A = this chain, B = another copy of it.
Amino acid sequence: MPHAEASTFEEGLTKEEVYSQVLEQARALFEDQRNWVCNLANTASLLYHALLSLPSPSNATNWCGFYVLDPKNPNQLILGPFHGHVACQIIPLGRGVCGTAAKTGVTQVVEDVDNFKGHIACDARSRSEIVVPVLKDGKVVAIIDIDCAELKGFTEEDRKPLEELAKLIAESCDF
C-alpha cells in the first residue's frame, strides 16, 4: 500500500483505536529501519494526523513532534522532526514543559500552559501540552511533545499509549 495510507485515519474511531493504529503503523515502519530522523519524521506525521481525526479537544492539536538531546550540548534539547508552525530550536534541560520532562524523565500532562512556571511559548495558540520522555538505558534521548490549542487537551488516555510509543521508539531507533 502507498505509505500515505498509514497516516490516514477513518472518521468515527475512538481515541484508543486511533492510538492503536499509530502503534501498529509505527511498528511496521520501524521494522527494517533504525534511523532516528527517518522514523521520528514518519511518527510525527502519524501522531498529528491521528489526533486531528479525533473530536475536540484532540482535533485542536497545533504542534506535534520531537526534541532530541543536542549532540553538541547534553544540557539542552534541539528541535527534531515535527508537524506544525516553526518552533524553538533549543530548550535548556529543566526549562519549560519539555525541559522538565527531559530533566526528570517523567511525563508532563499540562492542562493549562499558563499555569506552568517557566512555560516557553513557541506558539501563542498553545493552551495545553503533553510531553513524554523517550528513555534509552534509563537516560532521556528525546521527548515527544504535543501542543493543543484548547485547554485540557490531554489526559491519561493519551499518556499511556504515548508512553508505549516512546518505549517502541527507544527500542527501535539508533540515536
A interface residue numbers (CB < 8 A to B): 2-8, 25, 29, 33, 35, 37-38, 41-42, 45-46, 49, 65, 68, 70-72, 78-90, 121-125
Does B89 contact A42, Cβ atoms closer than 8 Å? Answer: yes
Contact call B6/A86, Cβ cutoff below 8 A? yes
Can you name 25 A-B residue pairings with CB atoms under 8 Å? A2-B123, A3-B89, A3-B122, A4-B86, A4-B87, A4-B124, A5-B85, A6-B85, A25-B86, A35-B71, A35-B89, A37-B68, A37-B80, A38-B78, A38-B80, A38-B89, A41-B65, A41-B79, A41-B81, A41-B82, A42-B79, A42-B89, A45-B82, A80-B81, A81-B81
A38 to B25, CA, bound (A): 25
- Across-interface contacts of A37 in B (CB, < 8 A): 37, 68, 78-81
Bound Cα distance from A49 to B33, whole angstroms: 29
Q: How far is the CA of A124 from the CA of B79 in the complex (A)?
A: 30
Complex interface: chain B residues within 8 A of A83 (CB): 45, 83
